[in-house]
Amino acid sequence: MSHNGVLETADLTGFRELQQLAYAGAQAVAATLEPGVTEREAARRLREWLTERGVQDWFHTPFAWFGDRTAFRGFRVPTQFFPSNRRLSANMPFILDCAPVRDGYVADIGYAGCLGHNPIFERLRDDLAAYRALIVEQVRAGDTLRDIYRAVDALSARQGYDNRHRVYPGRVIAHQVGKVNSRLPKFIVAGFGVRSLQTLFGDLLVERLHHRSPLWANGEISNHPATPGLWAVEPHIGFRGVGVKFEEILVVTDTDAYWLDDDLPHVRHWQGKAETR
Reported as a single tens digit per residue, the pLDDT across 172-194 is 999 999 887 756 556 465 555 55
pLDDT of residue 200: 56
pTM over 0.85: yes
CATH of domain 9-276: 3.90.230.10
CB 250 within 8 A of CB 230: yes
CB 261 within 8 A of CB 18: no
Among 59-73, 151-165, 192-206, the minimum mean pLDDT is found in: 192-206
Reported as a single tens digit per residue, the pLDDT across 212-265 is 678 899 999 899 999 999 999 999 999 999 999 999 999 999 999 999 999 999
Mean pLDDT of the chain: 88
- The CA-based dihedral angle spanning residues 124, 127, 133, 139, taken in that order and rounded to the nearest 10 degrees: -50
pLDDT of residue 17: 98
Share of the chain above pLDDT 70, in %: 86
Q: Quickly list H helices, 31-103.
A: 39-51
